[in-house]
Each structure stands twice: as structure tokens, then as C-alpha cells.
Structure 1
């Protein structure tokens, strides 16, 4: 099995979603199916069809989350000792050499990525360009508008 890298926070978010699906969504779907069945003929019952479709989605998501969590390799950035190198879980302060803009990104798993929160996927082009770099080095990133250069200002393990 392929290990799926997750930060401690990302694993907790997936566990919370799984718990909600099992304890709230699944019972709601079962109740909706029972309600729709009580309306009689199932062959032309749109409520029943919608409830069964929702049940399939919920059960599929539960299976997906259980699979990811069982194959998760949970990494705590605070416990990393990467000698100042950019690795999974690290938070990286960057400067765009063209515009002078400064940004900070944490490199996380695919399920945790949220650019608005400054979390980028380990499989994204910018994260792949940053992996292994140290403060002072420049990473070249192939962006839709061409090659962008970012200087690594600081690497933090928080």
C-alpha cells in the first residue's frame, strides 16, 4: 500500500469528518430513506432515489476516508529535524523575485491543501520545486505564465 502523508492537523480534520459522516450523515440518510419508503411506490419516488443517491455518496466518502486514514503516514512538523531544508510539513517564507511579494506556505498532503490558508499540496509545482531547498536558495517554478523564481527566506517547522 502507498502511504499517504498527512500532517497531524490534517489527520485530525479527516477523523472529524469521518466521525460526522458516521454519527450524523449516515443516520440522517437512513431516516430519509425510511420516510421516502413510507410514501408508497418506489418506482416513481424521487425522494427515495435522492436519498439512495445521498446514501451512496456518504458510504463512498466513509470508505475513502477510512482508506486514507489507514494508509496515513502522520508527520508532525514540530518534530522534524531536516537541517533547515524544505520538507513535507515545513512552513516556507518566500519572496517572488519578480514582484518582491512575500508569502508563506506550509507544504501539506493533497487532502489538506487550501491556498487561502497558506497550505499547498506536496504534489503542486511550487512545492515540488521547493523540496530540498534551504534559506537563501532560489526555486524556479513552472507557472502557467512562464517560469517564476522564488527565494527561500526562511524554513520553519511549526
Structure 2
């Protein structure tokens, strides 16, 4: 993506998203295409459960996903496009 979306307060493809876990850990992810996945860079596929739930969310939104039978809760702390 060469240009940021008009509404940069929402999460879309190519966004960098900082989330906080219930344990208080902060993590930053970038939503990318399936061919660009790179865990060492924090790149997650748009098809992943977390990315699918993050799309369209805004600051302070809560996202809940289920991984291996466990509920994981994330809070959106920051959204950026660069």
C-alpha cells in the first residue's frame, strides 16, 4: 500500500497496530498479505484470526479471539500507517 487510507483512525490493510494483552504486554503488528508474513517483523496475515478481528476497529476497542481453545483479549492502543 503506497497511500494511507482517508480514515486513519480505523484499522485497515497495511496498518501498524499496537495492542495490549490482558496481562499488560504491548505488541505491535502490521496487517499484511499472506505472502508477506514475517513474525520477526510483527507482520501478520490479513487472514489471521487477530487481523480479521482488528479490521475496522479504532483506538480503545477490545478484540477477542480464540486460540487453541483459549480466549485472548486485546485492547487497541495505537494505529499508524507508514
Q: Normalising by the residue count of structure 2, what TM-score does the alignment of the two structures yield?
A: 0.92
Partner of 1:88: 13
Flag as ranges the 4+ runs of structure 1 deviating above 4 A: none
Q: Which has the higher contact order (CA 8 A, sep 6+)?
A: 2
Partner of 2:32: 108
Task: Name whichever structure is richer in helix by fraction.
Answer: 1
In structure 2, C-alpha distance between the alignment counterparts of 1:95 and 1:79, rounded to whole Å: 23
Q: Secondary structure at the match of 1:128?
A: helix
CA shift for structure 1 position 147: 1.1
The count of corresponding residues between Structure 1 and Structure 2 is 82
Partner of 1:117: 41
Partner of 1:136: 60
Task: Name whichever structure is richer in strand by fraction.
Answer: 2
Q: Secondary structure at the match of 2:50?
A: helix
Partner of 1:151: 75
Within-5 A mapping of 1:40-79: 75-76=1-2, 78-79=3-4
In structure 2, C-alpha distance between the alignment counterparts of 1:145 and 1:115, rounded to whole Å: 22
Gap runs ≥5 in structure 1: 1-74
CA shift for structure 1 position 145: 4.3
